[in-house]
Amino acid sequence: MMADVLEVATGARPGGWAAPYKAVLASRIRAQRAYPAGFALDIVGSWLVGLTEFGELFVIFHNIGILGGLDFHAMLLLFGLSNLSWSIADMVVGHVDTLPTYVRAGTLDAFFLRPQPVLAQLVTSEFSLRRLARLTVGLVTMCVGLVINDVTWSVAVVGLLVLAIVFGTAIFAACFVAAASLQFFLINGAELTNTFTYGGSYASAQPAAIFPTPLKLVFGFLVPVAFTSYLPTLWILGLPGPSLLPTWLVWLLPVAAAWSWAMALLLWSWGCRHYQGGGG
């Protein structure tokens, strides 16, 4: 009886607010374990993609030595950080990019008929374990980068690494959500919205110093992927930033992540309204 009263008073429901998401995610992981052969192939494939990108980096630096003020060792750290954050974001929310598939299958309509926010349901509707492989490529490269460079270890460095991975992942995740939102307007527009996701990832792994001013503004502030890896790398290695992107900016990582999510959520609510308006 008391419990009933409390439930009404607080709006609490069995299992807490997270229970619905946990149930779906747990089932997704079980479903993936049911097909081990496909899973293994996916992992091999992900490794190959990661290694190819790494190979590209190696070839470039074999020929030029220094790019945008970063040498090969510094680039390892930059590449590792960028890859790690991006692949975590890809693992957790990467599937939102396939929004048109959800629309065609009617899954999105089913989300509208359930008592959770649609975006939260979409994000938690899948969890790609196979993308763990891609994550290890980033993790290993980052660790090698940290060892091979002359890093002066301190609490601040460790703190910044954590900050970079957590908020870097958040920034990339926001890119995925923004890309998904745009697909409400452009069904079959995945090619275009890939500029947000894969393009953002690629830009984040480049030393922003080589960009012309407009691109610096885009990747430094509008879609702030420079915050995910470039600025942290500069700070950890004690390097000065280019004009427009001074190294101290790195401590504004949470602000950059908040900005990214504000933009992503705004785009998402526009997209949803467009869909409910019958344009989807």
Partner 1 sequence: MSEVIIELEELTREFVVRRKGDGRRRRRHTIAAVDAMSWSVRAGESVGYIGANGAGKSTTIKMLSGILVPTSGSVRTCGLEPVGQRRDLARRIGVVFGQRSQLWWDLPLEESFSILAAIHQLDPGRGKSRTDELVEQLEMGETLQTPVRQLSLGQRMRAEIAAALLHEPALLILDEPTIGLDVLSKARLREFLIHERTTHGTTLLLTTHDMGDIERLCDRVLVVDRGRLVYDGTLPGLAGTVGARRMLVVDLAAPAADLVDVPHTTHVASEADGLRQRLAFDAEQTTAAEVLAAVAERVEVRDLSIEEPDIEDVVRRIYQTQR
Q: Summarize as ranges the residues that interact with partner 1 (CB under 8 A).
A: 13-15, 19-20, 22-24, 27, 30-31, 34, 105-106, 109-110, 112-117, 273, 276-278
Cα–Cα distance for residue pair 169/228, rounded to 1 Å? 8
Cα–Cα distance for residue pair 133/121, rounded to 1 Å? 25
Q: Which is nearer to partner 1, 124 or 228 (CB)?
A: 124
For residue 264, the minimal CB distance to partner 1 (Å) is 21
For residue 179, the minimal CB distance to partner 1 (Å) is 23
Cα–Cα distance for residue pair 242/248, rounded to 1 Å? 12
Q: Which is nearer to partner 1, 249 or 272 (CB)?
A: 272
For residue 108, the minimal CB distance to partner 1 (Å) is 9
Q: Which is nearer to partner 1, 64 or 114 (CB)?
A: 114
SS3 4: helix
Q: Which amino acid is at 143?
A: C
For residue 17, the minimal CB distance to partner 1 (Å) is 9
Bridge partner residues of 71 (DSSP):
66
Q: Which is nearer to partner 1, 7 or 56 (CB)?
A: 7
Written as six digits, the tokens of 200 are: 């953002």
Q: Which is nearer to partner 1, 30 or 62 (CB)?
A: 30
Q: Which is nearer to partner 1, 1 or 155 (CB)?
A: 1
- Is residue 261 within 8 Å of 105, Cβ to Cβ? no
For residue 36, the minimal CB distance to partner 1 (Å) is 14
Virtual CA dihedral for 212, 235, 224, 139, nearest 10 degrees? 110
- What contacts 91, CB < 8 A, 6 or more positions away? 127, 128, 129, 131, 132, 134, 135
For residue 1, the minimal CB distance to partner 1 (Å) is 14
